[in-house]
Amino acid sequence: SVHMGEFLESLNEEIPTFVGIKFTSPNLQEGARALRANNNRFVVFLGNRKLLLLHLFQLMDAACAIGMNSFIITSLSMFPELTVEAFTAGNAGNLLKARETQQRLTNVLTTIGKYGTFIETMKAAMSLLTNINPGPPRVPQQPLSAEAMASMAKDLQNLGFISAKSKRCIGGSTIEVWNNVQQGQRYQCHMARTTIPGFIN
């Protein structure tokens, strides 16, 4: 593999339009060297889909400590405010607050992830938590079953990320994800494209 710190140091002014990299290694010593290459000339984004999301969040504290301030994180698509809160706390040196916020993110992402593969579950969660419907995953992956979607939605409600009594999606924008129609615990899920047991479309 290519050492990113050494690579960026070797560039000098040879490629004037080269402005940064996505750093996918958990080795923050290498990341720090990349960040400081050529007098901090380059932007270094931390992000790696192959890392468990909880490990990526644990890296955020350390990454902030060495000066990284750019991240590519899936949770921003679903929990922008909470993710920014974790980053802001870490960047300000408030590690206790950062860890508390990251633990909440870790809990919800672990819950989402138990329903299938990364792509399958993140697409499903995005359709429940935001006003964006990313569509089904590409084959051979499959969309979650109606039963799994209903179970995930209930888990998200129990964790406080979906409110059954309002149109507020905690951790994201104020959007019409849920609308309590006062019919026994039946709800309307505007973003789902399938009939979900316990829900009406």
- DSSP code per residue over 109-169: HHHHHTTS-HHHHHHHHHHHHSS----PPPTTS-PPPHHHHHHHHHHHHHTTSS-SSSSB-
Percent of the chain clearing pLDDT 90 (strictly above): 33
Exposure string of 48-78, with b = 16+ CB inside 10 Å and e = fewer, is: beebebbebbbbbbbbbeeebeebebbbebb
pTM strictly above 0.85: no
Mean pLDDT of 132-151: 91
Asked if the model's pLDDT at residue 183 lies above 90, the reply is no
What structural domains does the chain harbor? 48-161 (3.20.20.70)
Residue at token pair 């990454």 = 63
Per-residue pLDDT, 105: 86
Asked if the model's pLDDT at residue 178 lies above 80, the reply is no
Measure the N-to-C terminal CA separation of the chain; round to a whole number of Å. Answer: 49
Query: Does an H or E element contain 92, and which?
Result: none
Per-residue pLDDT, 123: 92
Per-residue pLDDT, 158: 92
Residues 6 or more apart in contact with residue 78 via CB below 8 angstroms: 122, 125, 126, 129, 130, 171, 172
Written as one string, the DSSP assignment of 24-71 is --S-HHHHHHHHHTTTTTSEEEE--TTS-HHHHHHHHHHHHHTT--EE
The tokens of 46 are what?
A: 């931390």
Per-residue pLDDT, 164: 57
Asked if the model's pLDDT at residue 180 lies above 70, the reply is no
- What does the alpha-carbon distance between residue 44 and residue 187 come to, in Å, rounded to a whole number? 43
Cβ atoms of residues 171 and 179 within 8 Å? no
62: amino acid identity, one letter? A
Compute the Cα dihedral for 7, 8, 14, 16 and give only its sign.
positive
81: amino acid identity, one letter? E
Cβ atoms within 10 A of the Cβ of 32, count? 18
Percent of the chain clearing pLDDT 70 (strictly above): 74
